[in-house]
Amino acid sequence: MYPILTVGSVAFDSIKTPFGEVSRVVGGAATYFSVAASFFTGIRLVAVVGDDFSNEQMQVFEGRRIDLAGLQHVSGETFRWKGEYSSDLNIRETIYTHLNVFDQFRPILPESYRPTPFVFLANIHPRLQCEVLDQVAAPRFVAADTMNYWIDGTPEELREVLSRVDALVINDEEARQLSGEANLVKAARAIQQMGPSMLVIKRGEHGVLVTREDGFFALPALPLEGVADPTGAGDTFAGGFMGYLAAAGEVTDTTVTKGIVAGSVLASFAVEDFGLNRLVQLTPELLRERFAEFRRLTYFDAL
């Protein structure tokens, strides 16, 4: 079992969906990732919060295997994001993004973090992703997330990241945009040419697709009646996926496949309530039960 180093946003989110509304709840990619992955292994978090991020908010990390030595507390306001979802939850409009303390953030790894073998670079400026990688000593497996904003806005810096990672975790539209290929098989191959040997393509309500040595693995999403809030589902998925891999200690077709299921299990819970509400209530028993649900959903006998 190896620990995971992650860098990304810790934020205050305000979220409106057809099923309710919350304001100024703890969110951010690195938060969702860390909470999810901590069910499987220890996490070393690199991020920044402002002085409005109080002990009450810090509770989300407490009692979990999340090392906060790399969480900088600085003067100013924490990163804030507000988003609103369409009636079918498939379209998200960003009302505002205030970088606040994240604007001047420079990731500095505590000495104890440097030898971490598994690394997840959540969706932030690719230059910051590279700065983190520069400080890690001989990582064994590095995965990164990114988004259309960086694909369009900082393509060269993103190429540098891609040349240095083992896996890229993005959604299907981003895969098409990054590769310029409408067909996902061609898109995957084109992105693999840019560096990452593994591509994990998130398809929202349609599940996930991953490249393996022995061809693609595809997992549908669990059909859920009670989706309350999709915020953080992708980061939660990444946390479950990386957490499973790091706990297994090796990246093989078998661990990748089960890791994809583990990530989907966590994400299927995350969307059932607002923010981190559902995630923080989970138990290993609930995770095992839902893993079995995914198997019932997808299993069929050989002919």
Q: Which residues bind a copy of itself (CB under 8 A)?
A: 87-89, 182-186, 203, 206-207, 209, 214-221, 223-225, 227, 254, 257-258, 261, 288, 291-293, 295-303
C-alpha 11, offset from chain centre? 14
Q: Closest distance between a copy of itself and the C-beta of residue 50, in Å?
A: 37
Q: Closer to a copy of itself by CB, 73 or 206: give it.
A: 206
Q: Residue 25: phi, psi to the nearest 5?
A: -95, 155
Select 58 or 287, whichever has its Cβ closest to a copy of itself.
Answer: 287
CB of 266 to a copy of itself, least distance (A): 14
Q: In angstroms, what is the minimal distance from the CB of 246 to a copy of itself?
A: 17
Using the minimum distance from each CB to a copy of itself, give the nearer residue, 95 or 224: 224
Query: 68 vs 218, which CB is nearer to a copy of itself?
Result: 218
Angle (deg, nearest 10), helices 29-37 and 233-248: 40
Burial class (CB in 10 A: 0-12, 13-18, 19+), 97: middle
Amino acid at 77: E
| Closer Cβ to a copy of itself, 2 or 291, answer by number | 291
CA atoms within 13 A on the CB side of 164: 22
CB 234 within 8 A of CB 202: yes
Q: How far is the CB of 226 from a copy of itself (least distance, A)?
A: 9
State the nearest-atom distance from the C-beta of 223 to a copy of itself, in Å. 5
